[in-house]
Amino acid sequence: MDKTANIATTRHRNVKRAAATLLVTLSALGVSLLFERRSHAQSDPQQHELLRQSQADVDRKNSGCVSCHTSTDEPSMHPTGTVRLACTDCHGGDSTATLAPGTNSKTPDYEQIKNRAHVLPSDSTLAGRSGNPQRLYTKWLREGYEYVRFVNPGDLRVAAETCGTAGCHAS
* 73 has pLDDT over 70: no
CA distances from 31 to 14, 27, 43, 123 (A): 26, 6, 18, 34
- Span of 3-17, 76-90, 104-118, 149-163 with lowest mean pLDDT: 3-17
Q: The whole model's pTM is what? A: 0.64
Cβ burial of 61 (10 Å; 0-12, 13-18, 19+) is middle
157 compared with 35, residue with greater pLDDT: 157
In percent, the amount of the chain with pLDDT more than 70 equals 73
Domains in the chain: boundaries: 1-43, 54-171
How high is the pLDDT of residue 97? 93
